[in-house]
Structure formats: C-alpha cells, structure tokens
Amino acid sequence: MTSEFIQLLTPEGERVPDETYDPWIADVTDEHLRGLYRDLLLTRRVDVEATALQRQGELGLWASCLGQEAAQVGSGRALLADDFAFPTYREHGVAITRGVDPMSLLGLFRGVSNGGWDPHEHNFALYTIVIGNQCLHAVGYAMGVQMEASRSGGERSSAVIAYFGDGASSQGDVNEAFVFAGSFNAPVVFFCQNNQWAISEPIERQSRIPLYRRASGFGFPGVRVDGNDVLAVLAVTRAHLAAAREGQGPSLIEAFTYRMGAHTTSDDPTRYRLASDLEVWKLKDPLERLRSYLWRRQLVDQSFFEALDAEAEALAVRLREGCRSMPEPPPEAMFTHVYAGPHPLVTEERAAYAAYLEGFLPEGAV
C-alpha cells in the first residue's frame, strides 16, 4: 500500500474513482455521508468556540484543529469499537467520533482537570502534551494486544492508532516507536497530520522527503492521503487498520493538510507565514468540499444545513455556560490520580504542598 497521493474527493466536491480504496468505502451510505458532514461541522464549532473562550480568559490555552477536521473525523470514523487511539493535544475531532464530551476537552485546557475522561470508556487515551510521547504508549499497547492474542490462542480483533504531527516526526520518541513497532510487527497505524508547520518551522526545514517515505526506512509501508478529503482519509485508514488486525504489522499514514489557525492560542502565525498561503488552503476547506459533494448529488436541502447550524449553536451555548460554571478543584487534587495506588514520593510532595498552602493567611485576614 504505497502511493504518492490518495484523493477521492476534489476540492470542488467531485468524486475521484480509485481502484484500490473505493472498496473500503463501498458501504458508506447517503446517511453516513450526512453524518460525516455533521461530525466535521460540530468539530469546527467546538474549535471556534473554544478559541473564543480562550480569548475571553476562560481557558488557559487552546490548540486549534481548524482545517484538519477531515483528517481527524475520517480516521476517527475508521476505527472499530475495540480499536484504541492515542492522541496528541489537538485531536478534538477524533475525540468527538469516540464519544468524548467536548466539555471534557475544555476542562483540561481550563486547568480544572488533568485528563477529563475515562480512556477505557472510549478507547481513547488522554491527551499527551509531551510531543510524540504517545507513539511509544501506542506501540506498547499494541504489543500488549499482540501478546494477549498469542497467549489466548485467539485472533487479534483490534488495532491501535497513534496520532502525531509533522513536527513530532522529528522527535526521538516517534522514531523509537517506529523501531519497536517494526521489530515486533505491532498492530499499530501511525497517523501523521502533516499540517506543514512545526510551530514556526515549515515542513521544508523538517524533512527532505515526504514524511510517508520515512516508513520504508523502518521496514513498513507508508501512504500519503489528502488530509482535507474525509472520504479518502476514511478509506485509507480503514485499509491500514484492517491490515494491522490481520497481522501485517505497522504502517504510516501521512495526512497532508494545513494548519489554518495558530499552533496554539499563544502563537501568532502572521509573524512567520504568508497570508497568501492561507488563502490557497481556504479553497481546499474540508467542510466545503463535502458540502459541495452533498449538493451535487442532491443528498441534502437547505433545511439539513439549517438544522445542523441550530444543533451547533446549541452545543456552543452549552460549552460556554458549562465552561464558566466548572468548579475549581482543591489544589491537592493534582496529586490524586498520578498513580493507580499510593506512591511514597507523591505522598511526600502532597504533604509538602499542603504545608506550603497553610503558610498563606485566610482570605480577609490581616
């Protein structure tokens, strides 16, 4: 499975036939297509709302996924219930497809939670702030899946997907994960969203070759897909997850997309990026191309979009009100879930921090 560029839907919303990947979306019905558009729209609404909340001082930080919705929704919808995903801190669209309440995402960025959801309830690990770290977690989990199936004598029924960005592809953790996955034939799909900027560093300075070609150096296949094409991402990710479940080992998907927003709300991309580049990529907007496709095939009418807009607005209102009313946890809560059980170092640190807090006068005292 190696190709230069997989695209099933042009930026104008025209369907492109593909002999290899069309069978992987042959079961996608008109209702599924409308559902994919709903996922894309709600993901963008969450992203826009969270960015606004950060600007109003309600969130400490927000990592936008603006422009990357198709890469996230397409790959997220490709996962089966038993598959397990290991995200970075930007996979808001994947979180939505795994059933994570967007309110939980806001709790993390508001600083009232160290996580926000039960990973085993959604088969979706907590966000990882350390760049690339989650790829090692994913490979370890995948090797566990592999060993469990071997010991039970049963067939492997699940696969693992590890998300990371083009900047993280330069990290040692990611390359070490590639080595282990290749050496042990782990059932993991590495999903790189190449949004072309590692904060202020362009992809041209990060790699001399397309990122998917790096996979061959580690002994497994790689493919580049149009990351703004939700159908292509869905098909390609399904194919590679299936290969992992069948024992064919790891693979690398490079979703070629563009970061239309800032790296995070602490970043100003106008200082290092040309505005003309952004205008070019706006014409490739993942929502607009699926919207055009739905119109072309007459699968929707205006009432469909009006109903979705109303649903998105209701979600935004819930996020605004819910975010502002989140209770602040006690300061010592940060030590509660560091380990599953008691740990002497954490106990010592908790006590020291409590003693430090007791040194402050109560509010109103002089």
Catalytic residues, by residue number, are: 259, 263, 272
* 3 state SS of 252: strand
* 3 state SS of 40: helix
Q: Show Cβ contacts of residue 269 under 8 Å, excluding neighbours closer than 6 positions.
A: 197, 200, 259, 261, 262, 263
Instruction: Say how far apart CA 63 and CA 43 lie, in whole Å.
Output: 13
Q: Is 327 exposed, middle or buried (0-12, 13-18, 19+ CB in 10 A)?
A: exposed
Q: Show Cβ contacts of residue 207 under 8 Å, excluding neighbours closer than 6 positions.
A: 166, 169, 170, 214
> What are the Cα distances from residue 107, in Å, to 40, 255, 271, 364?
22, 28, 30, 29
Instruction: Say how far apart CA 32 and CA 231 lie, in whole Å.
Output: 11
> What are the Cα distances from residue 261, in Å, to 88, 194, 283, 302?
17, 14, 15, 28
Q: Show Cβ contacts of residue 232 under 8 Å, excluding neighbours closer than 6 positions.
A: 6, 7, 8, 9, 18, 21, 74, 225, 226
Give the residue from 311, 287, 293 showing the smallest Cα distance to 30: 293
* Residue pair 174/135 in contact by the 8 Å Cβ criterion: yes
User: What values do phi and psi take at 177, rounded to 5?
Assistant: -65, -40
> What are the Cα distances from residue 242, in Å, to 18, 248, 281?
18, 9, 31
Instruction: Say how far apart CA 163 and CA 141 lie, in whole Å.
Output: 14
Paired strand residues for 9: 15
